[in-house]
Structure 1
Amino acid sequence: MKFVVSSSSLVEHLQALSRVISNKSILPIMNYFLFSLEGSKLTITASDQEITMLSTIEVENKGNNGRIAILPKYLLDILHELGDQPLVFEIDESNYAIVIKSEKGKYSFIGHETEEYPAFHQLEENVSSVSIPCPLLLDGLSQTLFAVGNDDLRPIMNGVCFDMTTDSLNLVGTDAHTLSRFKLTNIKAETNRNFVLPQKAASLIKNILSKETGDALIKFDEKSIFCEISDYLLVCRQIEGTYPKYNSVIPQDNPIKVIVDRLSLLSATRRVSVCTNQGSSLMRVAISKGNIYLSGQDIDFSVSGEENVPCQYDDEPIEIGFKAVLLIDMLSNMSASDIVIELSDKTRPGIFSPLNQIEGTESLMLLMPMMI
């Protein structure tokens, strides 16, 4: 095998793929990249057995087609120190010797045979698909991933639910304390169907979306998910189980509506949170005409803090308790400059949403209250 490839293009793809590889894999071959050369297409594969990601790069083929496994460490450590330039790869498949030639240097190391590298599972029956503009998918994952659970006893909540209906596509993340729903109103399905994308897979997809402007094509059957984005393909298993009926926990009648600058509320919450109890992180939120009063204290250390944040509100006062660290997490993952906080009473969840929604979307986040 012999081919010429752009170092910058190769590094970009390898960095995205390297996040797939896990140090906990029981198969040693899973610690390697799989390089497959066919014509002018170089396909690089990384896998942890649960998730497989492939990327395709245009190269100049100067030899035969072939395959070899390469350890990420040597390859990435060398490439990170090289500027943008053409690299020549020469690979002897008889002894797996690899030589990389740059403009001013040459680097040699040993690869590995590829027979042990497992093939990824294919889609089978009852396949559905959905096409989503990459910028909207990026927004959806950015606003739901933070709310995803991490509980081995409830694995179905450890991923982002893609809930397709005849009216919209909903991306949902929840850990039972917070919930985020990102609705794409212009994307509709012929029948209601959903799948749960594992958290790691969702994070990998989010990572490659930032530079993409086209569409992401997602195909799925009863067990597997295929996500195609430009030069990348991600394949993974769905999380099995029945996702909670998230719409049933979202209060519909919320007479109290407060408009506030998100960054002002976020920065004030961060400062007051320093003074809250380290165990509970309880922060009192008192809303009155034109003002949100935040307060927190830690009696054990005789520490307290309070701040006032201006808002648009002209109704009866209300006081509610929120976990400060969760409120910070939620506000940090919103992008709107002004937000609306909707409440019914101090015992029911608070709903946070942008004052001005992005066209074709409806974003909503929910935070459970704490006793005060």
Structure 2
Amino acid sequence: MKFAVSSSHLYERLSSVSRVINTKNTLPILNYFLFSIQGKELSITASDMETTLITSMELEEVEGEGKVAILAKNLIDILREFADQPLTITIDTASFSVVITSAQGKFSFIGQSGEEYPKMHELDADNTVSFVAPASVLLDGISSTVFATADDELRPVMNGICFDVTTEDLTLVGTDAHKLARFKTTAIKGEKDAMFVLPKKPASLLKSILVKETAPVNVSFDTKNSIFTLSNYKMVCRQIDARYPNYNAVIPKSGPTKIIVDRLALLSGVKRVSVCTNQASSLIRFAISDNQIYLSGQDIDFSISGEEYIPCQFQGEAMEIGFKASFIIELLSNINASDVEFTLIDRTRPGIFTPAEQDDNKNILMLLMPMMLND
């Protein structure tokens, strides 16, 4: 088979799907892309057995049909060095030889039989739940929660985003037991109530390809696998097989102390003071009163300390509470709002962080566990 394609267009698609490929694979064939041509459509597949990502593109000039596996590194490394130009790719489906021809020369290597490439998972039709999601809303939800997921071998269910869909709304949740992020939207609704846990890796991959997506995304899942269908991509992934904890049970309803503060001002202040904290604990003390937040941190071992005052709108009881600097930086970096509101109950209970103004069809909430203060 033979086809013509733009070098930059092909490289862009290969770069997207190549993120699925692990650096070390137990099956050598997983180091390859699967190229398949049917009619005038070229589909390119990459997989790590748990997640499969497929991209499709229409070809104007094509001869023949078939499929072949091509070593990903060879192809990516060659295409990376091309300026945008037309390429002709010729594949012998009998010997699996691949020849890339440009205006300046040609490159050839041997692929493998496409029949050896693993088949992607299929859904159980009797147990499939589906919904349609605006790409921008789904991107917002994943971006707001994936950072809070864990890397915990003992509790794998924490290593992904919980998709909790009902006939009224969709809720996405990520947590590592120290911090929790919840994104709820009424712009996405399911045909019935159901839940699945999407692992962090495919969630991050989906986030990267949603950035340029404008069409609605079709999401289907059963008890084991999930499929996300975009205009030019399709992702099939194995879910985390475990029951997600009751996230609503750990979210406090309200607290006596409420603060509204400029998000970037607080974020910058925390970053500066964090330089002066103990590297092991990364503890920053928040003292809140009189329409200001007093941030302080120190490392006694190195005789370094820092403090800063951040103006805020304050309501309720004065309070002191400690947070891990890296966690509060992560949290504030992932709230897309000019002002942030946070509610405190006491120094031993988690703080609730939200945008000061929420959109009508979505609600974002972040929870952060405090650190112990030694008075």
TM-score band, normalised by shorter chain: over 0.9
Aligned residue in 1 for 2:328:
327
Aligned residue in 1 for 2:42:
42
Contact 2:256/2:316, CA 8 A, preserved across alignment: no
Aligned residue in 2 for 1:236:
237
Cα 1:60–1:188 shift into 2, 3 Å = closer
Runs of 4+ in 1 over 4 A off after TM superposition: none
Superposition RMSD in Å:
1.2
Task: Please report how far the alpha carbon of residue 123 of structure 1 lies from its aligned counterpart in structure 2 after TM superposition.
Answer: 0.4
Equivalent position amino acid for 1:159 in 2: G
* CA distance in structure 2 between the aligned counterparts of 1:363 and 1:92, rounded to whole angstroms: 53
Cα 1:102–1:150 shift into 2, 3 Å = same
Task: Please report how far the alpha carbon of residue 190 of structure 1 lies from its aligned counterpart in structure 2 after TM superposition.
Answer: 4.1
* CA distance in structure 2 between the aligned counterparts of 1:130 and 1:160, rounded to whole angstroms: 17
Partner SS, residue 115 of structure 1: helix
Partner SS, residue 99 of structure 1: strand
Aligned residue in 2 for 1:268:
269
Aligned residue in 2 for 1:77:
77
Aligned residue in 2 for 1:100:
100
* CA distance in structure 1 between the aligned counterparts of 2:347 and 2:167, rounded to whole angstroms: 35
Aligned residue in 2 for 1:257:
258
Q: 1:120-269 residue pairs with structure 2 within 5 A? A: 120-124=120-124, 125-269=126-270
* CA distance in structure 2 between the aligned counterparts of 1:22 and 1:148, rounded to whole angstroms: 20
Partner SS, residue 60 of structure 1: coil
Contact 1:39/1:61, CA 8 A, preserved across alignment: no
Unaligned runs of 5+ in 2: none
Deviations 1:37-96 (A, max 9, x none): 111000100001111111101113432101111112221112112222221111112222
Aligned residue in 1 for 2:2:
2
Equivalent position amino acid for 1:49 in 2: M
Partner SS, residue 46 of structure 1: strand
Aligned residue in 1 for 2:56:
56
Unaligned runs of 5+ in 1: none
Task: Please report how far the alpha carbon of residue 290 of structure 1 lies from its aligned counterpart in structure 2 after TM superposition.
Answer: 1.5
Equivalent position amino acid for 1:149 in 2: A
* CA distance in structure 2 between the aligned counterparts of 1:256 and 1:33, rounded to whole angstroms: 55
* CA distance in structure 2 between the aligned counterparts of 1:252 and 1:316, rounded to whole angstroms: 17
Contact 1:338/1:354, CA 8 A, preserved across alignment: yes
Equivalent position amino acid for 2:86 in 1: P
Partner SS, residue 150 of structure 2: coil
Task: Please report how far the alpha carbon of residue 276 of structure 1 lies from its aligned counterpart in structure 2 after TM superposition.
Answer: 1.1
2:106 equivalent to 1:109: no
Equivalent position amino acid for 2:276 in 1: C
Deviations 1:86-111 (A, max 9, x none): 21111112222211112332222221
Could you tell me the TM-score, scaled by structure 2's length? 0.97
Cα 1:62–1:371 shift into 2, 3 Å = closer
* CA distance in structure 2 between the aligned counterparts of 1:31 and 1:79, rounded to whole angstroms: 17
Equivalent position amino acid for 1:102 in 2: S
* CA distance in structure 1 between the aligned counterparts of 2:191 and 2:52, rounded to whole angstroms: 29
